[in-house]
Amino acid sequence: MINYIRNENMKIYKRKRTWVLIALVAVFVILQIINVRAGDGGTAAADWRPQLEQENHRLAAEAAEPDALQIEIRQAEKNILLNEYSLQHNLPPETNAWSFAGDLSGNIVFAVSLISIIIAGEIAAAEFVSGTIKLLLTRSASRTEVYAAKYIAAILFGLGLTLVGLLLSLLFGGIMFGWGGLGDSYMYVKDHTVHQTPMLLSILGSYLFHLPFLLISVTLAFMISAGFRSPIFAIVIPLFISVAGFVIAIAMNGWPWTRFFIFSHSDLIGYFLGDPAVKGMTLGFSLAFIGLHLAVMHLLSHTLFVKRDVS
């Protein structure tokens, strides 16, 4: 099995377009830095106190808007508490490599997931179209082994690209904002109270809790790739579903019915913050719900893969 996984990885990384996709992650991180620079510049201004007070007034007004989403209201309340804590303890808001990497975790995983869909969407379908799948299926390996090797290779690509995104955000963030701050604490709101946790732990935890989105998106793309002959179909459909699911999960955050919407379970950071997507929902339920969907997708895709004719 290890040899088959290694072979799939070699096929992925020998393609020039794979390295173009990896370069897109670097471009994405640079764009995020430009966005921060265009905002507050990443450093605290001399008049940071009045700025935080003005921001609190703005956040309170936005949260009071009749058309404000529940997630916007809760986020505004959290930001107000964090700003008040900074004012009370004389902690000017500053960006460094570590805080930048942590804040960027959700965006990195989202971007990496969309890129990984391209790899997962063509890893099986493209070989059926070109006919090269015959070379694998005529060897001693079973179709199940080939199926597993391709899926594992797609997941490993996504995880590897996530690590690249993390390292690039630390590298570029350090160059632009400095490397200090690793010993600082990351502040977050839980149960209407500001808490602190070690910065490095918060970064690793943030990436870990966002990974379900990557797992769901890649598995969906691989399922379609294993069951259909069109790589374009296996890429476009999962891209649309993943982006739409991401948007719906944010817009409908807090609605009771979303506990049965898979993308509402794709970001588990809410459990760490004591603020799940739906009140009363547990981490165990989310993990079981994700596991059920992954099992169903694999049942469908594996069945189609092992029964497909090779022309």
Domains in the chain, number: 1
Q: Say if 287 falls within a structural domain.
A: yes
Q: Say if 171 falls within a structural domain.
A: yes
Q: Say if 237 falls within a structural domain.
A: yes
Residue 83 forms beta bridges with which residues?
Answer: none
- Count of CA atoms in the C-beta half-sphere (13 A) of 74: 20
Angstrom distance (rounded) from CA 188 to CA 273: 7
User: Following DSSP, what letter does each residue of 200-238 receive, concatenated?
Assistant: HHHHHHHHHHHHHHHHHHHHHHHHHHHH-S-HHHHHHHH
CA 166 vs CA 53, 235, 266: distances in Å:
32, 25, 19
Give yes or no for residue 132 having a pLDDT over 70.
Answer: no
Give yes or no for residue 96 having a pLDDT over 80.
Answer: yes
Residue that has been written with the tokens 């970064």 in this structure? 203
> What does the pLDDT look like over 35-56, one tens digit per residue?
887 766 555 566 778 888 888 9
Q: Say if 196 falls within a structural domain.
A: yes
> What does the pLDDT look like over 285-296, one tens digit per residue?
999 999 999 999
Q: Backbone dihedral region of 309: left (phi > 0), alpha (psi from -120 to 50 degrees) or beta?
A: beta
Residue 189 forms beta bridges with which residues?
Answer: 194
Residue 107's pLDDT is: 94
Give yes or no for residue 242 having a pLDDT over 90.
Answer: yes
Domain extent for 143? 2-43+94-307
Residue 130's pLDDT is: 65
Mean pLDDT of 213-236: 91
Q: Say if 131 falls within a structural domain.
A: yes
- Locate 18 and state its tokens: 């794979």
Angstrom distance (rounded) from CA 307 to CA 311: 13
Residue 187 forms beta bridges with which residues?
Answer: 196
Residue 136's pLDDT is: 63
CA 261 vs CA 107, 153, 190, 298: distances in Å:
21, 27, 24, 18
H or E element in which residue 189 lies: strand 185-190
Q: Say if 60 falls within a structural domain.
A: no
User: To the nearest whole number, what is the mean pLDDT of the chain?
Assistant: 88
Short-list 194, 170, 168, 191, CA closest to 181: 170
Q: Say if 65 falls within a structural domain.
A: no
Angstrom distance (rounded) from CA 115 to CA 65: 36
- Locate 116 and state its tokens: 């990984």
Q: Say if 124 falls within a structural domain.
A: yes
Residue 195 forms beta bridges with which residues?
Answer: 188
Angstrom distance (rounded) from CA 83 to CA 288: 36
Give yes or no for residue 177 having a pLDDT over 70.
Answer: yes
